[in-house]
């Protein structure tokens, strides 16, 4: 039998030390040997290692660290400073000496004495781990930690790259050490420390020492006291465990450890250490704000939209990862299309007419015809996360994919799209249909077959006095539902869908495809105000459609101009058709449902009112030759009936397109166009039909928006998916109903 060794003997300790080499610092010991020729056991030769040192990536010597980006309006005014990682890069001279020393003393006290690998530290770690029986102590140098941080920075939001950069493996450790050795040859110690202090994470979205000093103490890094510098230096090891907001006692204990290290290394006096240890944490914490919150004049929602554009448009990178990396790295100067005067006018209108604490909200988008440029984007509730202040980050103006919700049923503002499809198909502007007060949905042709109303559902006009026959001009002015259903039947659903697609409505706000349903003409499928503004901008541009654009130019941190999305303008209908639509919609504002919305300077305006069933939402989308604006009013996230309701301090018995969103549109446009030249539309002459007696004229004033009978406007032989009627996931609230 072999003799027993006494417990704690040198051999016993050696065996325990070997046991923990693999889980503690084996990588450090092995790679330390990389500086020597004898590394064949790792499958590497001295030649292999030497060759791998020939080129260290620039990312490690002078990494492009993520920084804030700046978003500007069309006149060069700053909208917001935005960031994924809050960081301000400093030079060595801009960092306080005590901060630099505190970080070295707690992280790597022998940093200025050893190379990339601290053999003394490795041996110390082996001994400590052997004594404790656990892998309690590592031996990474500050240079090695810096290399790891660069890999994490380069990974960005790429989860796989992040896992690779942080996984505990011998291979990763070897690669980090190889780069660290070369860095020590190419950079000075002071340069490495400066880079480290700029890149490292201090918790609470604070990257780099300047951001950390501002976050926790509301001051610059050069102005930190000994106690404050020690607090921040102590965070690096574990920003979660030493979070000063959540774990103040643990933070203070860690801070005092740093102070002890400073004293031990004779970088402060005993008196200074005593004073610093006795000091309270004395935090002056600043909450990290999403940069868009700081935007003025209601531009926070547009700012957020720009962020989505950069992250999603292929112009900014072929893959999602490429675009995310561009945004995360920041340092961008983004010049946008937003016009500050028009934005101010839109914001004043929506916030004056609708209060933030109203049960409903308003949203308005302005687009320049013939360019696709978004000139204004505002809503009545402020941008932010504080619901007690009625703030929201849901952008009611745009589609779900771009930060919005499921959209809203546009009601009768969809009718001009049907009219455009009909005119393109050869229907004359004088086309007449019986337009009875109430009819069942007729059978309609589709792109692939027919749509039958097997349930016998009906559609009705707003008032029993609205009985045809009507011609198109009068039917548009009065927004006669049955007329447009009959027009839709005459041309078929396929041309309507195709026209909607050409005008930018290929998908609904939710991302679902536009469906060929009989109620399409009555605007029952949810879209966004920006979409409708651009549809009408196409009419104003005589049929030239331009995809909406928010960004004019982008310059990166190196001063290089980047490609940006283009409007890609195309003629989607004949100018004659567009002129006909403009003539019809001039009739709406001259003698129809929008006649109360004329501008004070007398310029030509055209547009269309729209109200959904049960008065859950109302629209006015109107335009001049120079500017198209769509205004929506309704419950922002759930259906809210706008009957017997106060909006903006004013009582409404029932809200229509001309009485709710219409005055918002009017106020916004008057402010936006003040002093601008007056343009005129190219129009066509549409003869007025002969008037016919109206026996029920006194029964109802001409203020409605069309109507639906039998509680529903969805007809035909089909089943609608969730969200087509009254979708409410972040904004959809139309319950059918093509109203005025």
| CATH number, domain with residue 456 | 3.40.710.10
Give mean pLDDT, residues 579-607: 96
Distance of alpha carbon 115 from alpha carbon 124, whole angstroms: 16
3-state SS record for 42-71: HCCCHHHHHHHCCCCCHHHHCCCCCCCEEE
Distance of alpha carbon 216 from alpha carbon 282, whole angstroms: 9
Distance of alpha carbon 631 from alpha carbon 619, whole angstroms: 6
Q: 451 and 368, same structural domain?
A: yes
- 556 found inside a domain: no
Closest CA to 229 of 213, 250, 251, 247: 213
pLDDT at 694: 58
E strand intervals along 447-505: 450-451, 458-460, 470-471
pLDDT at 136: 40
pLDDT at 716: 32
Q: 357 and 215, same structural domain?
A: no
pLDDT at 119: 64
Cα–Cα distance list, 56 to 51, 177, 651 (Å): 11, 12, 70
Show which of 228, 250, 278 is a domain's final residue. 278
Is pLDDT at 244 greater than 50 in this prediction? Answer: yes
- Joined together, the tokens standing for residue 132 give 């404790």
Q: 636 and 737, same structural domain?
A: yes
Residue 711 banded pLDDT, cuts 50, 70, 90: very low
Residue 530 banded pLDDT, cuts 50, 70, 90: very high
Tokens 């697609």 belong to residue = 501
E strand intervals along 45-150: 69-72, 78-82
Q: 357 and 238, same structural domain?
A: no
Work out whether strand 438-440 and strand 432-433 pair parallel, antiparallel, or are unpaired: unpaired
The total number of residues written for the chain in this structure? 740
* Cα dihedral sign, 104-109-113-118: negative
Q: Which helix (H) or strand (E) holds 571?
A: strand 570-571
Give mean pLDDT, residues 229-256: 96
Q: How many structural domains comprise the chain? A: 2
- 300 found inside a domain: no
pLDDT at 557: 83
Range of the domain at 93: 10-66+85-278
Is pLDDT at 594 greater than 90 in this prediction? Answer: yes
Residue 495 banded pLDDT, cuts 50, 70, 90: very high
pLDDT at 287: 82
Inter-residue contact 381 to 354 (CB < 8 Å): no
Distance of alpha carbon 1 from alpha carbon 542, whole angstroms: 102
Distance of alpha carbon 492 from alpha carbon 422, whole angstroms: 9
What 3-state class would DSSP assign to 1?
coil
Number of continuous H segments (helices) and E segments (strands) in the chain: 24, 20
**The most confident of 19-28, 325-334, 450-459, 566-575, by mean pLDDT:** 566-575
Show which of 244, 278, 312 is a domain's final residue. 278
Q: 345 and 430, same structural domain?
A: yes
pLDDT at 64: 73
Digit-coded pLDDT (tens) for 366-391: 999 999 999 999 999 999 988 899 99
Is pLDDT at 337 greater than 60 in this prediction? Answer: yes
Q: Which of 125-139, 176-190, 208-222, 646-660 has the lowest mean pLDDT?
A: 125-139
What 3-state class would DSSP assign to 729?
coil
Q: 346 and 204, same structural domain?
A: no
Q: What is the mean pLDDT of the chain?
A: 85
Inter-residue contact 581 to 607 (CB < 8 Å): no
Show which of 262, 278, 294 is a domain's final residue. 278
What 3-state class would DSSP assign to 643?
strand
Tokens 């928010």 belong to residue = 550
Q: 344 and 225, same structural domain?
A: no
Closest CA to 658 of 588, 609, 707: 609
Distance of alpha carbon 427 from alpha carbon 303, whole angstroms: 43
Helix axis angle for 170-186 and 142-155, nearest 10°, is: 110
**Residues linked to residue 433 through DSSP beta bridges, in sequence order:** 470
Inter-residue contact 510 to 722 (CB < 8 Å): no
**Residues linked to residue 367 through DSSP beta bridges, in sequence order:** 374, 628
- Joined together, the tokens standing for residue 388 give 């007690």
Is pLDDT at 536 greater than 50 in this prediction? Answer: yes
- 79 found inside a domain: no
End-to-end CA distance of the chain: 102
Q: 352 and 239, same structural domain?
A: no
Half-sphere exposure at residue 99, Cβ-oriented, CA atoms within 13 angstroms? 27
Distance of alpha carbon 320 from alpha carbon 104, whole angstroms: 38
Digit-coded pLDDT (tens) for 161-197: 777 777 777 777 788 888 888 888 889 999 999 999 9
Give mean pLDDT, residues 454-475: 93
Work out whether strand 333-336 and strand 69-72 pair parallel, antiparallel, or are unpaired: parallel
435 Ramachandran zone, left/alpha/beta (phi>0; psi -120 to 50): left
pLDDT at 454: 83
CATH number at residue 229: 1.10.3810.10
């Amino acid at each position: 039998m072999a003799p027993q060794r006494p417990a704690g003997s040198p051999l016993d300790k050696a065996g325990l030390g070997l046991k923990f080499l693999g889980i503690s610092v084996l990588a450090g010991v092995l790679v330390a040997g990389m500086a020597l020729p004898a590394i064949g056991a790792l499958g590497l030769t001295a030649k292999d290692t030497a060759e791998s040192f020939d080129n260290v990536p620039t990312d490690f010597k002078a990494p492009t660290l993520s920084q804030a980006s700046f978003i500007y309006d069309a006149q060069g005014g700053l909208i917001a400073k935005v960031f994924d990682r809050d960081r301000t890069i400093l030079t060595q001279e801009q960092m306080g000496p005590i901060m630099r020393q505190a970080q070295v003393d707690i992280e790597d006290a022998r940093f200025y004495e050893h190379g990339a690998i601290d053999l003394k530290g490795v041996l110390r770690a082996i001994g400590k781990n052997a004594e404790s029986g656990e892998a309690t102590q590592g031996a990474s140098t500050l240079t090695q930690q810096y290399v790891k941080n660069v890999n994490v920075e380069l990974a960005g939001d790429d989860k796989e790259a992040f896992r690779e950069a942080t996984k505990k493996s011998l291979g990763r450790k070897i690669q980090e050490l190889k780069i660290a050795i070369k860095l020590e040859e190419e950079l000075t110690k002071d340069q490495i420390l400066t880079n480290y202090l700029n890149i490292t994470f201090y918790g609470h979205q604070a990257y780099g020492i300047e951001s950390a000093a501002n976050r926790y103490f509301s001051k610059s890094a050069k102005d930190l006291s000994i106690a404050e510098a020690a607090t921040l230096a102590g965070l690096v090891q574990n920003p979660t465990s030493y979070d000063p907001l959540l774990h103040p006692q643990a933070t203070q204990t860690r801070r005092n450890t740093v102070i002890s290290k400073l004293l031990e290394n004779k970088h402060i006096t005993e008196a200074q250490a005593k004073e610093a240890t006795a000091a309270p944490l004395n935090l002056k914490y600043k909450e990290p704000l999403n940069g868009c919150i700081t935007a003025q004049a209601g531009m926070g929602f547009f700012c957020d939209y720009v962020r989505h554009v950069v992250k999603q448009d292929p112009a900014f990178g072929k893959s999602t990862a490429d675009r995310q990396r561009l945004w995360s790295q920041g340092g961008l100067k983004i010049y946008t299309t937003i016009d500050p005067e028009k934005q101010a006018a839109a914001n004043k209108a929506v916030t004056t007419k609708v209060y933030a604490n109203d049960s409903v909200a308003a949203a308005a988008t302005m687009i320049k015809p013939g360019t696709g440029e978004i000139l204004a984007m505002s809503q009545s509730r402020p941008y932010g996360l504080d619901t007690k202040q009625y703030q929201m980050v849901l952008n009611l103006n745009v589609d779900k994919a771009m930060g919005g919700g499921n959209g809203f049923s546009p009601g009768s503002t969809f009718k001009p799209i049907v009219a455009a499809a009909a005119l393109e198909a050869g229907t004359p502007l004088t086309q007449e249909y019986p337009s009875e007060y109430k009819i069942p949905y007729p059978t309609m042709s589709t792109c692939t077959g027919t749509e039958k109303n097997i349930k016998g559902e009906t559609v009705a006009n707003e008032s029993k006095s609205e009985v045809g026959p009507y011609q198109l001009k009068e039917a548009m002015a009065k927004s006669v539902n049955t007329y447009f259903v009959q027009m839709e039947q005459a041309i078929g659903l396929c041309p309507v869908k195709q026209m909607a697609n050409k005008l930018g409505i290929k998908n609904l706000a939710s991302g679902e495809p536009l469906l060929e349903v009989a109620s399409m003409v009555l605007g029952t499928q949810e879209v966004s105000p920006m979409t409708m503004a651009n549809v009408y901008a196409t009419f104003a541009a005589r049929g030239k459609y331009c995809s909406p654009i928010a960004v004019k130019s982008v310059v990166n941190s190196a001063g290089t101009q980047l490609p940006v999305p283009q409007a890609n303008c195309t003629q989607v209908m004949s100018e004659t058709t567009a002129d006909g639509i403009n003539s019809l919609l001039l009739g709406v504002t001259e003698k129809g449902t929008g006649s109360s919305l004329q501008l004070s300077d007398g310029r030509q305006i055209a547009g269309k009112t729209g109200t959904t069933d049960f008065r859950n939402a109302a629209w006015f989308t109107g335009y001049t030759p120079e500017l198209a604006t769509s205004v929506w009013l309704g419950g922002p996230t759930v259906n809210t009936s706008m009957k017997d309701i106060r909006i903006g301090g004013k009582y409404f018995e029932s809200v229509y397109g001309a009485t709710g969103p219409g005055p918002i549109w009017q106020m916004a446009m008057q402010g936006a166009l003040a002093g601008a030249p007056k343009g005129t539309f190219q129009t066509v002459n549409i003869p007025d039909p002969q008037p016919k007696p109206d026996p029920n004229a006194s029964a109802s004033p001409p203020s409605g928006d069309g109507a639906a009978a039998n509680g529903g406007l969805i007809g035909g032989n089909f089943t609608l998916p969730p969200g087509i009627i009254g979708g409410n996931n972040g904004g959809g609230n139309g319950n059918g109903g093509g109203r005025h």
